[in-house]
Structure 1
Amino acid sequence: MRLAAVPVALAAVVAMTGCSKADSGGGGSAGGEGVAADATIEEYRAAFEDVDPIDLNFQVASPNPEAHASLRDREFAESLEEWSGGKITVNIHYAGSVAAPTEVPAALTDGRLDMAHYYTTYEPQEMPGFVDMTTSMVQAPSTPLVGEIVSHAALQEVSFNTPEIMEEFTSRGMHVINPANPNGNISMVCADERSTPADFEGAQIRGNAASHKVQVEALGGTITSVELAEGYEAFQRGILDCSLQSPATALAVGWLEVAPHVYFPQEQSFAPGPGSLVAGAKWEQLPLVAQQLIFDRQREYTSAEFFNALESVRETSDAASAAGGSAQYLDAESEVALTSANEGLVKGLEESENLDGAALNTAVKESIDKWTGISEELGYTDEGGFEDFASWYKGSEDFEDREYLQAISDRMFDEIILPHRPS
């Protein structure tokens, strides 16, 4: 695997994705024989013997090659090479080195990129149905473990099952394999401690989803759109007071050094700002077996994504403390304000011009309930909060040991992703 130089700009994550169903990504393949969904590595290598070498350019999410998100994407790339017997070569490009976040669809169409993790919520005008879905996701719980699992599952399930959302991808030349990777539930990091609603009054708060404006204003702050790559300096210069993003993102870009006060909602959720795993024009040129391999490796990609999100929560508390801050919950009055804002956001979706908002809210609620039950069935429970997460979380700190996360990853693959596998 060849690794490109790490750029300084923040970025569009890219990952290859695609779908065989007309309502789930569309597109055909260059043909050839496929393999069963449970094919072994030996069976895959045998199927690739007569396949010409394939070279893929893959832009990933993080600007930091050692970040958890990079481990996830690097493992995915390496596994494509390994399982294809070396017939697939993946060239990794880090955050924004080929295309800026909003340029990813064009780069996938014109061939600069073949695979990408597209920051879908960065373009609300082009992806309005998807953004509506992320807004409806404020119905999800904001707990460290179950909330994380439920958010991942519901985002993916509802995306795949909503034709208007899938059409937003296909109409722009993107082929979906994994429609939503939230990279972790959203937290707020602040340069100074903010323990009462008065502390948020007038604060400049960065958001990355359209609904964040409503949530920030409900807290008394003012929304700002500082670019991720400029955030560290903005905190240093006092231009930025707080920012909404996943703990994984805050860690990857080093923000806890300058914004070590981390806040999580206790009963509510900040709206997620997930990206999507997508492929471009080259997808239809790939033989069927290559498309299937990219799809089938999503089983491990999901467990790696969970590791990324959950290990970042574990590390956030330590990093915040080391920088003179802490991980804690929003104060009770701010929680009440956020609750009111979220109720208004969900209610407002009923008037959406992009899709049937009432049906969307129902689908999101049903998916949240379904995956909450599945999480409990598989033994995943919240035994504490964010502040003491490291003391009760049972997962390993070793990226190579994701056994604890594999049961839920397998269930999500089987129920959400597998039905859309190319065939």
Structure 2
Amino acid sequence: MSNRFGVTRLTSALAGILAAGLILSGCAGGEGGRQTDSAGVSFGASIEEYQSAFKNIQPIKLRLQTDGPEGSLSNVGREQWAKAIVKWSGGKIGFEFGYSNSFAPASTEWAAALADGRIDVGYFLPYYTPDDFPALSALSNATFLDGNRPLSTLVSTGWVTETTFRRPEYVEEAEQRGIHILTLAPSANIPGIFCTKERTSLTDFQGVPISASGKGRFDELKSLGFTPQSIAFTELYEAIQRGVVSCGSTVPSALDTIGAVQLVPYAIADPQASLVGFPNYLAVGKAAWDSLPLVARQLMFDRLDVFLTEELKARSKRNADWLRRIKAAGGGIRPLGDDARQALLARNNDLLNDLAGQGADTKSFVAARDKWNAIVNEQLYPDVTSSLEEFFTAKAYETVDVQPFVDAFFKQVLLKNRPS
């Protein structure tokens, strides 16, 4: 079978041999292996400089998976990033899209699909397979530090990505499993509880079945009295419809992707006590990444500015649309009751101590969170003081220029990892 690079597609077994370094590899084109590497370009190179550098590069095609159908807001960041790469490479890099998770339907298999080549580029969710990614899952379990404020998605993107790249165990863990991380995908900044009827207190939550993923979420929900069920978001719609669960522990973007927004219009997102989030990384299969010529890797990295800018804008639009729809269905965003808030704060404190006991550098987590909280809320956007609901209802997000954040993020986090 001819592969996307014009050479025979590698079998999983052969890919494993290549990964072990037993024979020379490469699926980026050329006869029998990797293309002859090209000279790279400097960061900030013009489109003309990039296209000139691609002049002698053989065509490359990458399989990119998205979780929504073509053109949906859930795909905007990845679609616009891919479009920019095609343009800046002079058409030398192309993409085959696996819309609506058509390459690997279950979110629990995305990591394996990146490693074995079913997907070349896509999202990587380490918390779904914590046994394979214990360090990254521990980091995921600290994301309750983000809070539920209008610009929490910027804070979390900054501190989680910085932490991921600053400490070697995170990147090494992914690379050993065949995955190369590009960046954290901006979160939906509302990691909440979404129910079929209004619930806010410990009494309301007692014994209610709820979907959950990751140990941190399980422990938090148990502390509130829920009965967590291990259900991936791709399976949540059916679980709600069949009455397997009465609430979903997820994010608005996931509910939108699976068409379940109106099924659970009663949302809980507390400004003081947050749940563990669901950090998704934009990643490339390591075998595919290593086989690309330098200039291709540099272009995919440099145009992360497009991915981040478009993704952040789309996330805000999706949240605003989600809020409009749940209000139309009689719901809205509510804080936790006082008893539930205190229970969750206590559990989160225990969770942070547990992570520290397991060897996680939780002090650095808090320091990184505080650093990016200051950058975002004090330096870049001090005038954003509204509540989460006000921010999206009044479309205040439309006045927030995300470019200063993207510039700061590249300068302080990403540029240290640029291919060279």
TM-score normalized by the length of structure 2: 0.86
Secondary structure of the 1:188 match is strand
**Deviation of 1:313 (Å):** 2.5
Query: Residue type of the partner of 1:323?
Result: A
Displacement of 1:403 in angstroms is: 7.3
- The amino acid across from 1:198 in the alignment is T
Q: For residue 127 of structure 2, what is the aligned residue in structure 1?
A: 121
**Paired residue for 2:305, among 299, 314, 317?**
299
Distance in 2, Cα, partners of 1:306 & 1:380:
18
Amino acid in the other structure paired with 2:201: T
Q: Distance in 2 between matches of 1:157 and 1:247?
A: 25
Q: Look up the SS of the partner of 1:388 in the other structure.
A: helix
Is the 1:184–1:310 contact (alpha carbons within 8 Å) kept by the matching residues of 2?
no
What's 1:213 paired with? Answer: 218
Highest RCO, 1 vs 2 (Cα 8 Å, sep ≥ 6): 1
Q: Secondary structure at the match of 1:92?
A: strand
1:238 lines up with 2:243 in the alignment: yes
* Match in the other structure for 2:373: 372
Corresponding letter in the other structure for 2:74: A
Q: How does 1:173-212 map to 2 (within 5 A)?
A: 173-179=178-184, 181-212=186-217
Structure 2 counterpart SS, 1:177: strand
5+ residue gaps, structure 1, are: 1-27, 397-401
Alignment of 1:269-348 (within 5 A): 269-280=274-285, 281-348=287-354
Q: How many residues align?
A: 384
User: Closer, same or farther in 2 for the Cα pair 1:232/1:239, shift >3 Å?
Assistant: same
Shift of 1:393: 4.9
Question: How far apart in 1 are the matches of 2:109 and 2:40?
Answer: 33
Structure 2 residue runs without a partner (length 5+): 1-33
| 1:84-99 matched pairs, under 5 angstroms | 84-99=89-104
- Residue identity in the other structure for 2:204: D
Distance 1:111 1:232, change over 3 A: closer
Quick check: 1:73 aligned with 2:78? yes
Matches within 5 A, 1:148-163: 148-163=153-168
Match of 1:38 in 2: 44
CA contact (8 A) 1:204 1:222 kept: yes
Task: Report deviation, 1:106.
Answer: 3.4
After superposition, give the CA deviation of every residue in 1:356-393 in whole Å (9 maximum; x if it has no partner): 32xx2111111111111111211254422122223555
Identical aligned residues as a percent: 30
Q: Scaled by the length of structure 1, what TM-score is found? A: 0.86
Alpha-carbon deviation of 1:422? 0.3
Query: 380, 386, 404: which is aligned to 1:384?
Result: 386
- Alignment-derived partner of residue 175 in structure 2: 170
Q: Which position in structure 1 is the counterpart of 2:233?
A: 228
User: What's the secondary structure of 1:206's corresponding residue?
Assistant: strand
Q: 1:48 maps to which residue?
A: 54
Q: Shift of residue 39 of structure 1?
A: 0.8
Check whether the contact 1:383–1:392 (CA below 8 A) recurs between aligned residues. no
1:211-265 Cα deviation digits (max 9, x unpaired): 0111101111011122323322322232211111122112222222111101102
Q: 1:105 to 1:30 in 2, by over 3 A?
A: farther
SS, match of residue 401 in structure 2: helix
Distance across 2 between alignment mates of 1:180 and 1:155 = 10
Q: Quick one: distance in 1 between partners of 2:135 and 2:35?
A: 27
Whether 2:250 is the aligned partner of 1:253: answer no
Give the greater-gyration-radius structure (CA): 2
For 1:166 and 1:90, the matched residues in 2 are separated by 25
Range with bigger deviation, 105-114 or 273-282? 105-114
Contact 1:204/1:239 (8 A) holds in 2: yes
Aligned residues of 1:384 and 1:392 also touching (Cα < 8 A): no
- Identify which range, 109-118 or 240-249, moves more after superposition: 109-118
Aligned to 1:407: 404
Q: Deviations over 1:321-371 (max 9, x none)?
A: 11221122222221111101101100111211xxx32xx211111111111
